[in-house]
């Protein structure tokens, strides 16, 4: 194939990009202007080059929002076939994304993008009755690449509507993970109701930015989170080769915004700002086995004492003390995850009186036109007190309400089972009264088992090792996803299984 191009005069809101998932990748550059010589580059993606073999069926169309370019010409350039360029069209509408209610192979309560690759939840913020969930997203394949921010919203934490992606790779880098807040203190010259987002511009992940470094940047929304505008203010310059994943919150006691940031290996940085424009580093924290996607928040233990917790991507958490400047770990490292499927969890901002968490579920959904999903939202608390306190990740109360009274209970040891089912989603809670017993459960054709003496838990023959002697489990089956809670919600795992619908 030789270099080709296609020109489109844009008069509608989307451009279709044909996707043959899994084909070899080529660079697609998109310019805006009269000709390539004077035109401005507005997008650069690495997309599947076209049919891997003659007659191969297209997987899906990706819909690129181009409303800002209506009335202008876009030129698409790259080493692609005529068939690929033929599929690039300007269209007014995109089809509704598949939903679990319509497709028995998809989850109905867990968010999964209609098509494409999904990973880390980003910018989780509650605003005007809406839970916003942005996420790492590749619209153009079912593999990691082209990190953008996708966007979904919910009013009940269970049913999600996927909206247009809001941020795309630019001259500063691809859009890595970050967080969001409501601008309650009217920083950056913006109204109090604006939403402010913090993200990593990951330079070097495409040819466009190969000579630049990672930076932490700011974007804002003044329309309730529908569109995000990137700012040149509030930039945190490079503090490590690939420092990333800023999580920002207001620390009332020291009257400043705090940003926690992964720097390198198991080292994290803490930065402070009073105005979201200028940031100063106040601490570096080394956390054994800690790795990227940090979160820092406080919870009350069972004695009512406020405890700070540093959470990292693999589910490791570290209890300690935080004064707005420095974090000091005071208890041993623990892990909240049963297996490697949950990852890169983040908690919501601007939610009053509870701490809600969503994790990425690293599930492949082989053969489908989407990969990855989000966990059910979980409400965090501490069980126990002092240095022995442990993190509980109880599914949000909305889930119990969804299943109704029959699914709201949870047995202790020897109490048998509680079950609930609604719209194809299944809930089962079981007690294990013998600390050395062997247990087996059939959940919609999926075989689950637990050897209490040896701590071996298995799903359809896939075994993992968890603590022995656990007395309770809860199973949430939703299409191809099984979530498991155990040991009074202090352990959490996820598995890809046979559909329960």
Number of other residues whose CB lies within 10 A of the CB of residue 165: 23
- Is residue 65 domain-shared with residue 126, that is, in the same domain? no
- Is residue 239 domain-shared with residue 383, that is, in the same domain? yes
Confidence class for position 176, pLDDT limits 50, 70, 90: very high
Residue 406 confidence (pLDDT): 45
- Is residue 346 domain-shared with residue 209, that is, in the same domain? yes
Tell me if 477 is assigned to some domain. yes
Residue pLDDT, tens place only, 26-40 = 999 999 997 656 789
- Cβ within 8 Å of residue 164, ≥6 positions away: 63, 65, 151
Q: Which of 103-117, 296-310, 322-336, 375-389 has the lowest mean pLDDT?
A: 103-117
- Is residue 69 domain-shared with residue 34, that is, in the same domain? yes
Residue 219 confidence (pLDDT): 98
Q: Which of 86-100, 235-249, 439-453 has the lowest mean pLDDT?
A: 86-100
- Is residue 390 domain-shared with residue 426, that is, in the same domain? no
Tell me if 148 is assigned to some domain. yes
The pairs formed by 431-438 with CB atoms below 8 angstroms and a separation of 24 or more are 431/471, 431/472, 432/470, 432/471, 432/472, 432/473, 433/471, 435/468, 435/469, 435/471, 436/469
Residue 98 confidence (pLDDT): 52
Question: In angstroms, rounded to a whole number, what is the distance separating the alpha carbons of residues 470 and 217?
Answer: 44
Tell me if 488 is assigned to some domain. yes
Residue numbers annotated as active site: 120
- Is residue 268 domain-shared with residue 131, that is, in the same domain? yes
Residue 413 confidence (pLDDT): 41
> Measured at the alpha carbon of residue 86, what is the angle toward residues 81 and 90, in degrees to the nearest 5?
135
Confidence class for position 422, pLDDT limits 50, 70, 90: confident
Residue 419 confidence (pLDDT): 77
Average pLDDT estimate for 80-109: 82
Domain range for 267 is 116-395
**Number of domains comprising the chain:** 3
Q: For the chain, give the percent of residues with pLDDT over 90.
A: 84
Residue 34 confidence (pLDDT): 72
Residue pLDDT, tens place only, 470-498 = 999 999 999 999 999 999 999 999 999 97
Confidence class for position 408, pLDDT limits 50, 70, 90: very low
Given a cut of 50, whether residue 311 has pLDDT beyond it is yes
CATH code, domain with 85: 2.60.120
DSSP label at residue 402: H
> How many residues are listed for the chain in this entry?
501
Average pLDDT estimate for 322-341: 98
Cβ atoms 177, 147 nearer than 8 A: no
Residue 415 confidence (pLDDT): 42
Given a cut of 50, whether residue 78 has pLDDT beyond it is yes
Q: Which among 370, 395, 420 is the end of a domain?
A: 395
Tell me if 97 is assigned to some domain. no
- Is residue 120 domain-shared with residue 221, that is, in the same domain? yes
Tell me if 457 is assigned to some domain. yes
CATH code, domain with 227: 2.115.10.20
Cβ atoms 447, 467 nearer than 8 A: no
Given a cut of 60, whether residue 86 has pLDDT beyond it is yes
Given a cut of 50, whether residue 328 has pLDDT beyond it is yes
Q: Residue 340 corresponds to which tokens in the numbers above?
A: 């490697």
Confidence class for position 1, pLDDT limits 50, 70, 90: very low
Residue 211 confidence (pLDDT): 87
- Is residue 223 domain-shared with residue 303, that is, in the same domain? yes
**CA-CA distances (angstroms) from residue 5 to 52, 170, 172?**
20, 20, 25
User: In the chain, helix, strand, coil percent, each to 5?
Assistant: 5, 50, 45
Residue pLDDT, tens place only, 220-270 = 999 999 999 999 988 998 898 899 999 999 999 999 999 999 999 999 999
Strand (E) or helix (H) holding 85: helix 82-86
Q: Which residue has the higher pLDDT, 424 or 312?
A: 312
Q: Which residue has the higher pLDDT, 404 or 111?
A: 111
């Amino acid at each position: 194939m030789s270099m080709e191009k296609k020109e489109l005069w844009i008069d509608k809101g989307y451009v279709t990009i044909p996707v043959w998932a899994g084909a070899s990748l080529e660079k697609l550059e998109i310019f805006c202007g009269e000709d390539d010589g004077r035109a401005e580059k507005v997008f650069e993606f690495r997309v599947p080059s076209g049919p891997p073999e003659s007659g191969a069926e297209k997987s899906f169309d990706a819909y690129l929002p181009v409303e800002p370019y209506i009335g202008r010409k876009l030129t698409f350039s790259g080493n692609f076939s005529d068939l690929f360029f033929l599929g690039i069209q300007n269209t007014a509408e995109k089809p509704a994304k598949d939903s679990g209610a319509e497709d028995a192979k998809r989850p109905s309560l867990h968010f999964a993008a209609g098509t494409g690759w999904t990973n880390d939840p980003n910018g989780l913020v509650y605003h005007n009755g809406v839970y916003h969930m942005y996420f790492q997203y590749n619209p153009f394949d079912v593999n990691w690449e082209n990190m953008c921010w996708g966007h979904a919203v919910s009013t009940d934490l269970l049913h999600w509507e996927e909206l247009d992606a809001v941020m795309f790779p630019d001259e500063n880098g691809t859009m890595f993970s970050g967080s969001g807040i409501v601008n309650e203190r009217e920083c950056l010259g913006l109204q109090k109701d604006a939403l402010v987002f913090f993200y990593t511009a990951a330079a070097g992940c495409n040819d466009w930015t190969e000579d630049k470094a990672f930076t932490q940047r700011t974007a804002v929304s003044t329309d309730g989170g529908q569109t995000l505008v990137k700012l040149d203010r509030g930039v945190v310059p490079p503090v490590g080769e690939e420092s990333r994943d800023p999580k920002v919150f207001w620390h009332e006691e020291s009257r400043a915004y705090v940003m926690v940031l992964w720097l390198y290996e198991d080292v994290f940085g803490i930065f402070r700002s009073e105005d979201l424009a200028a940031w100063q580093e106040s601490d570096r924290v080394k956390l054994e086995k800690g790795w990227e996607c940090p979160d820092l928040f406080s919870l009350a233990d069972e004695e009512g004492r406020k405890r700070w917790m540093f959470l990292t991507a693999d589910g490791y958490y570290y209890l300690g003390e935080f004064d707005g400047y420095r974090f000091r770990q005071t208890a041993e490292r623990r892990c909240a995850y049963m297996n490697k499927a949950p990852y890169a969890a983040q908690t919501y901002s601007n939610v009053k009186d509870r701490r809600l968490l969503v994790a990425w579920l690293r599930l492949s959904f082989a053969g489908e036109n989407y990969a990855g999903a989000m966990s059910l939202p979980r409400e965090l608390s501490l069980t126990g007190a002092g240095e022995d306190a442990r993190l509980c990740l109880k599914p949000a109360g909305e889930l119990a309400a969804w299943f109704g009274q029959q699914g709201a209970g949870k047995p202790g040891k020897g109490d048998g089972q509680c079950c609930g089912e609604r719209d194809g989603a299944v809930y089962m809670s079981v007690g294990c009264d013998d600390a050395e017993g062997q247990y087996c459960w059939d959940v919609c054709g999926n075989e689950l088992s637990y050897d209490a003496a040896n701590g071996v838990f298995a799903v359809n023959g896939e075994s993992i090792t968890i603590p022995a002697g656990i007395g309770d489990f809860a199973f949430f089956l939703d299409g191809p996803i099984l979530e498991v809670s155990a040991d009074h919600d202090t352990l959490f795992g996820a598995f890809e299984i046979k559909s329960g619908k």
